Structure 1
Amino acid sequence: MTDLRTLTFDEIETLAIKALTASNVSAQNAAPVARSIAAAERDGQAIVGLSYLPTYCDHAACGKVDGHAQPRLEMLSAAALRIDAATGFAHPAIALGLQPLVQAAHRCGIAALSVGNSYACGSLGYFVEELAAQGLIALMAANASPSIAPFGGQTPFFGTNPLAFGVPREGREPLVIDQSSSVVAKVAVIDAYNRGVALPDGWAIDANGMPTNDAAAAMEGSLLPIGGYKGFGLALMVDILAAGLTRSHWSFEASSFGDCEGGPPRTGQLIVAIDPTLLGGNDFAGRLEEMLSASQQTPAVRLPGDRRLEARKRHKAGIAVAAAAVETVERYAREGSPILPS
């Protein structure tokens, strides 16, 4: 059984800030990244929580991401905003643009924010939920370095290229849908590799295009797109939205999120925010609840995000985190990334 340590949300956030700032990240940039790490642990998404933080720290230490970048916001029109992340973390860049995006969406009914020259942003659901909590429907796309072979191929070309959707609900937490274009997120394969466990059938192929349950072979091969050719189409759509409209690298041009080779990946994110009353009318919220209630015909039917909300409730008094992950991050907080220049 895995040894656990119980921490509060604030303790996880503070620890993450210390590890990042010790690894060549400014305090201003570390804060929004650390908050997303704590939110991932709170919501039961540990594979993008503290155990993933050392990758962020290592990439800041080696220059894969500029921990001192200063993102720049530009208003292109009343409803279109653009941010140059300057090869820094996506989180502070998105944080810079979210409130101007909210204001533009409420003012115009619909608005879009493009974030270019960026880096991995973790869970997209984290960002769309923030917008939904402010009364807006949000759609977010993000591209990533190559992990998925095109349908019928065997060489990775697209990233896991996730897409997320958030919608406000009347008297309830927002509904959040967050999924990758692949059968599973790349971090799940990395997690399986680190734990030495086999992959389920249908997750990946090896370098020769053959199905594999070996995480190491999968990392040398390719993840499979969700739904076959439909997932390939989804990954293509996300690449166009997240890279094409943000003037960023296409997935096939981006350096890996998994090592320190190749310089900054320069990927992108696109967020569209919509005032639901603009097209849906003032009765949108009520009609949404009617539809969602009708969809839950039996207790076995669960809405997307239900497990995340259940985890959040369980963790109000404290968050149980793998002790090994906490100890590793504590070491980073004391000493910084081991690959920092001496």
Structure 2
Amino acid sequence: MHLSLAEAETLVVEALQRSKVSAENARSVAVALVAAEAAGQGGHGLRRVPAYAGQAKIGKTDGFAQPQLTRPFPAVLRIDAGNGYAYPALDLAVAELPGIAREQGIALAAISRSHHAGVMGLTVERFADQGLVALMVANAPAAMAPWGGKVPVFGTNPIAFATPLPGEDPIVIDLALSKVARGKVMAARQQGAPIPADWAFDREGKPTTSAEEALEGTMVPSGDAKGAALALMVEILAAGLTGANYAFEASSLFDDKGAPPALGHTIIAINPAATSATDTAKRFALLASEITRDPNVRLPGRRGQTSRRLALTEGIIVEDEVIEAIKRL
């Protein structure tokens, strides 16, 4: 079904408000999930609404939570998401960190008791749009084993980075530390489709093409042992530093069972004017131009930016069964 962005946001807002979510939080979530759809990241988009709503209805997620902010050090913010959705806490970080980064040269937000961080490239891009370099890490419920193991300990633990470029869209890097994001496996299960054999292992540690077996097993780390090591790093940065749950302590984001996931995110925003006496904007532009001299190469983030720009005028296509599931909430 074809929807304009406004229609899609209204659909999500109304469903969440029927599910014990405040109007303000419903709007924050809707904007983020629809932006994910517009960017071509459906695994982080409207397919998430039934799980989000179910968790709010039962109280696993607090749909009325308001993120609480403290500033224990001049360049550090602590944001307690209150076991609510991540997006209100991320919106707060986007509102507060830039001023601190300009004042201090660098600023960090440590977010705890949070939820699914969504398409993190969209978050870091909001900092780059304000002239800042941004890095974000987040942990997720356990889905990857340490390299050589069978028991999931780490999440897929995405990393996102953005840097401004003069006169054009920012460079945006957004990657899960599993070979693919777990949301793609979830989407395959909902569609009844197989997955490539190199995406995941079953419970026995064997490659599988079954999305169901993959969700019960573990994801393949990107880069094998290197990806598993980076996932450990993210657990420390996103959960160890923030006081959030580690991946193996967190409940699922896909159902309404258990305690709140209480996940963590860390965002670092850097003022380029503070780090070098040179014109950093020109240096960034030089690197970007050297990369794109090859006509077969595009800068990271361009596909999603182009897709989002097109969606502003043409809207998005969402599977009928997804829309019907949302309407039934």
SS at match of 1:317: helix
Q: Is the 8 A contact 1:148 1:160 kept in 2?
A: yes
Q: Which moves more between the two structures, 78-87 or 292-301? A: 292-301
How far the C-alpha of 1:324 sits from its partner, in A, is: 2.5
How far the C-alpha of 1:282 sits from its partner, in A, is: 5.0
Specify the alignment match of 1:266 in structure 2.
262
5 Å-filtered alignment, 1:219-258, equals 219-258=215-254
Specify the alignment match of 1:192 in structure 2.
188
Task: Measure the CA separation in 2 of the matches of 1:7 and 1:189.
Answer: 24
Specify the alignment match of 1:338 in structure 2.
none
Specify the alignment match of 1:215 in structure 2.
211
Q: Is the 8 A contact 1:41 1:319 kept in 2?
A: no
Question: Deviation per CA, 1:51-70, whole angstroms, max 9, x where unpaired?
Answer: 22111111111222111112
Task: Measure the CA separation in 1 of the matches of 2:51 and 2:287.
Answer: 41
In the alignment, which of 80, 84, 88 is matched to residue 88 of structure 1? 84
Q: Which moves more between the two structures, 278-287 or 145-154? A: 278-287
SS at match of 1:194: helix
Could you tell me which amino acid in structure 2 is paired with residue 215 of structure 1? A
Q: Is the 8 A contact 2:86 2:116 kept in 1?
A: yes
- Structure 2, unaligned stretches of length 5 or more? none
Specify the alignment match of 1:130 in structure 2.
126
Question: Deviation per CA, 1:144-188, whole angstroms, max 9, x where unpaired?
Answer: 110011100111110111010011110111111110110011110
Question: Deviation per CA, 1:177-207, whole angstroms, max 9, x where unpaired?
Answer: 1101100111101111111222113111111
Indicate yes or no: 2:305 matched with 1:309. Answer: yes
Indicate yes or no: 2:312 matched with 1:326. Answer: no
Task: Measure the CA separation in 2 of the matches of 1:146 and 1:207.
Answer: 13
- Structure 1, unaligned stretches of length 5 or more? 333-342
In the alignment, which of 261, 272, 276 is matched to residue 272 of structure 2? 276
How far the C-alpha of 1:319 sits from its partner, in A, is: 1.6
TM-score, normalised relative to structure 2: 0.96
Q: Is the 8 A contact 2:5 2:316 kept in 1?
A: no
How many residue pairs get aligned? The number is 328
5 Å-filtered alignment, 1:43-58, equals 43-58=39-54
Could you tell me which amino acid in structure 2 is paired with residue 117 of structure 1? R
In the alignment, which of 150, 157, 176 is matched to residue 154 of structure 1? 150
Using a 3 Å threshold, how does the CA distance of structure 1 residues 102 and 265 change in structure 2: closer, same or farther?
same
Task: Measure the CA separation in 2 of the matches of 1:176 and 1:294.
Answer: 17
Using a 3 Å threshold, how does the CA distance of structure 1 residues 20 and 281 change in structure 2: closer, same or farther?
farther
SS at match of 2:288: helix
5 Å-filtered alignment, 1:105-144, equals 105-144=101-140
Specify the alignment match of 2:169 in structure 1.
173
In the alignment, which of 67, 70, 76 is matched to residue 71 of structure 1? 67
Specify the alignment match of 1:339 in structure 2.
none
Task: Measure the CA separation in 2 of the matches of 1:99 and 1:310.
Answer: 25
Task: Measure the CA separation in 1 of the matches of 2:72 and 2:126.
Answer: 23
Could you tell me which amino acid in structure 2 is paired with residue 45 of structure 1? Q
Specify the alignment match of 2:202 in structure 1.
206
Q: Is the 8 A contact 1:255 1:265 kept in 2?
A: yes
Task: Measure the CA separation in 2 of the matches of 1:297 and 1:211.
Answer: 39
SS at match of 1:268: strand
SS at match of 1:316: helix
Percent of matched pairs sharing the same residue: 44
In the alignment, which of 32, 37, 40 is matched to residue 36 of structure 2? 40
SS at match of 1:82: strand
Specify the alignment match of 1:24 in structure 2.
20
Task: Measure the CA separation in 2 of the matches of 1:71 and 1:312.
Answer: 28
